């Protein structure tokens, strides 16, 4: 795709494409490392926490509790990325669990300061990771305030196609494993609404979503839908 088009699309698009901090791989001997099975809760609400999480393998999900007891998904900590770099007291509402079998390292502040003294570039990588998270949530706040649910979903699909899609003949293919539930969490859209929107796209021959691939047959029509009023 045209590089000029790609540059105007905000990055990151999905809540796991944050700046990686792979330099921490060189300092794993300083950390404590554990493995977690898929579904294991690593940090529960109210559990005191004073370490930085680094995911060697697998993926973790970070969520925040709501008044009704549900968890609001925030972002993923993917391989080569870090989690929270702050201190959580006993009243926090953050929860972290493994969404895949994962190998996770935990660094104490003293260990991080030692790493900073040995390699100052790690400071920049951690700042970049945190800033990409800030930009991501700034974009989410904007979208929730200014765009309808259908627009948020269509914008995500269009941007994924522009950034990740590969042109194959007269259509585009995006190889990814985002479920409709995850798309709903990313865009702040109810799961039922996301399902109905994909059904509409399928009926009109615009987009067809499989388990591991999405095919976009009419990119321009998908783009035009972003500004149309669609009620679900």
- Give 29-82 pLDDT, tens digit per residue: 999 999 999 999 999 888 888 899 999 999 999 988 877 777 788 888 999 999
- Tell me what pLDDT residue 1 has: 45
- Token output for 45: 């609400």
Measured between its terminal Cα atoms, the distance across the chain in Å is 32
Dist CA 18 CA 16 (whole Å): 6
Which of the four pLDDT bands, split at 50, 70 and 90, describes residue 26? very high
Q: Residue 77's beta-bridge partner residues?
A: 60
CA angle 96, 99, 103 (to 5 degrees): 80
- Tell me what pLDDT residue 13 has: 62
What domains are defined for the chain? 22-143 (2.60.120.10), 147-225 (2.60.120.10)
- Tell me what pLDDT residue 4 has: 44
Dist CA 130 CA 119 (whole Å): 18
Dist CA 78 CA 95 (whole Å): 16
Contact 113/59 with Cβ under 8 angstroms?
no
- Tell me what pLDDT residue 11 has: 55
- Give 114-130 pLDDT, tens digit per residue: 999 999 999 999 998 88
Contact 80/22 with Cβ under 8 angstroms?
yes
Helix (H, G, I), strand (E, B) or coil at 110: helix
* Cβ within 8 Å of residue 7, ≥6 positions away: none
What does 147-194 look like in DSSP terms, one character per residue? S-HHHHHHHHHHHHHHHH-EEETTEEEEE----HHHHHHHHT--HHHH
User: For 165-185, what is the mean pLDDT?
Assistant: 86
């Amino acid at each position: 795709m045209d590089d000029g088009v790609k540059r105007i699309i905000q990055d990151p698009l999905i809540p796991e494409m944050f700046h990686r901090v792979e330099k921490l791989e060189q300092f794993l001997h300083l950390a404590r490392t554990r493995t977690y099975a898929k579904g294991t809760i690593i940090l529960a609400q109210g559990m005191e926490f004073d370490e930085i999480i680094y995911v060697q393998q697998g993926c973790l999900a970070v969520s925040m509790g709501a008044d009704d007891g549900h968890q609001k998904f925030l972002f993923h900590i993917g391989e080569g990325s870090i989690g929270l770099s702050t201190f959580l007291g006993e009243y926090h509402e953050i929860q972290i669990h493994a969404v895949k079998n994962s190998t996770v390292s935990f660094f104490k502040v003293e260990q991080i300061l030692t790493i900073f003294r040995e390699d100052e570039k790690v400071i920049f990588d951690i700042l970049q990771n945190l800033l990409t998270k800030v930009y991501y949530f700034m974009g989410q706040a904007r979208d929730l305030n200014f765009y309808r649910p259908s627009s948020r979903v269509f914008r995500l699909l269009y941007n994924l196609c522009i950034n990740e899609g590969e042109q194959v003949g007269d259509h585009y293919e995006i190889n990814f494993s985002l479920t409709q539930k995850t798309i709903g969490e990313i865009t702040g859209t109810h799961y039922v609404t996301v399902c109905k929107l994909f059904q509409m796209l399928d009926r009109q021959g615009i987009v067809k979503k499989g388990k591991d691939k999405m095919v976009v047959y009419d990119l321009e029509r998908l783009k035009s839908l972003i500004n149309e009023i669609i009620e679900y």
